A = this chain, B = another copy of it.
């Protein structure tokens, strides 16, 4: 019964985390495998402090999971939180398709991307 109104806070965090090209780069980089804060910071010519904050944002959004190992912190991709974001987008796309079909009164559509 997973209604599509996930909980706005969650979507806020996910989308605003994605709304920054540095953060998207981080995700792409982590797609190649885990990395430390320093390894993430270097290619962007950014301070460790700055990168720490970016990673924190991604972690708060559930997109990245980190673990302190020794004196460095290992960052990996998080659990598949993007499903929420994806679901909302496809919900929107469904609305858009409906606009094409010209069905304006029909607003039930509970079945969709969510089960």
Contacts and interface: CB of A to CB of B under 8 A. Distances in A.
Contacts of A86: 86, 89-90, 93
Given A12-B20, A21-B11, A27 B76 contact: no
Contacts of A20: 12
Interface string A42-71: 000000000000000000000000000000
B32 A8 contact: no
Contacts of A88: 18, 24
Interface in A88-104: 88-90, 92-93, 95-96, 98-99, 104
User: A interface, how many residues as a size bin?
Assistant: 20 to 34
Given A16-B15, A80-B96, A90-B86, A104 B21 contact: no
B16 A12 contact: no
Interface of A: 8, 11-12, 15-16, 18-21, 24, 27-28, 30-33, 76-77, 80, 82, 85-86, 88-90, 92-93, 95-96, 98-99, 104, 107
